[in-house]
Amino acid sequence: MTFILTNDDGIDAPGIQALLKAVNGKNVIIAAPRDHQSGCGHQVTTTSPINLQRRSDTEYAIAGTPADCVRIAITQICQDVKFVLSGINAGGNLGVDAYISGTVAAVREAAMHGIPGIAISHYRKAKQNFDWDLAAKLTAGVLADLLNHPLEAGSFWNVNLPHLLPGEPNPHVVLCQPCTKPLPVNYRIEGDNFYYVGEYSKRDRTPGSDVDVCFSGNIAVTKLKV
């Protein structure tokens, strides 16, 4: 069984190394963006060339979006892909973030081609540092369950890890619904320029939704569909 690992923070981001650690022992190919692509959504490249640099037998840096990476991986690199894993994103992808996120778009693209996938993101609290070793450990536990959980055609998983501080209890894995409330939309205005200043942590959260679950210190798992 071949797994494609990708992300939207770029192939050199620590999160994808944490994901590689979480899937230790599995047959994996890394096909990830050469450059940072966070927030690119489901953008694809169709009118310009996409450069591919082969770094090793199992690692490819692709000058495109996460969706581009999946398209190239499943058609040009390995045509027997059984699963696509995307992440671990440095920042949450909760609720309506799924429409903006390149991390989620990668597994949505896979689902369009009949390949199951899991997007994994790590909510960041107040710009504090990530504990990537802990993230890898938590992800390994979630994957052990979800990889054995059947998915109907066109569906995929979206996982969000909480930002735990030292001494906080171990998180529970909670299967929940995505929050549908909008992100904060606030701007600072200087002349003719608008600077986004919405605070992610102050977004509205429906009780029991993925935003509420993750902000409360647990692992939010939602099933999304094309």
Residue 25, pLDDT score: 80
124 belongs to a structural domain: yes
97 belongs to a structural domain: yes
Residue 96, pLDDT score: 97
Residue 167, pLDDT score: 86
99 belongs to a structural domain: yes
196 belongs to a structural domain: no
Over the range 167-201, which residues count as b (16 or more CB within 10 Å of their CB) and which as e?
A: eeeebeebebebbeeebeeeeeeeeeeeeeeeeee
Residue 11, pLDDT score: 98
16 belongs to a structural domain: yes
Structural domains in the chain (count):
1
Residue 110's domain spans which residues? 2-178+206-225
| CA separation for the pair 210, 196 (Å, rounded) | 24
Encoded tokens for 137: 């450990």
Residue 44: closest CA among 121, 113, 97, 122: 113
Residue 78, pLDDT score: 93
Q: Which residues of the chain fall below pLDDT 70?
A: none
User: Where residue 20 sits, what CATH number does that domain have?
Assistant: 3.40.1210.10
185 belongs to a structural domain: no
61 belongs to a structural domain: yes
At a CB cut-off of 8 Å and minimum separation 6, what does 203 contact? 95, 181, 182, 183, 184, 211
183 belongs to a structural domain: no
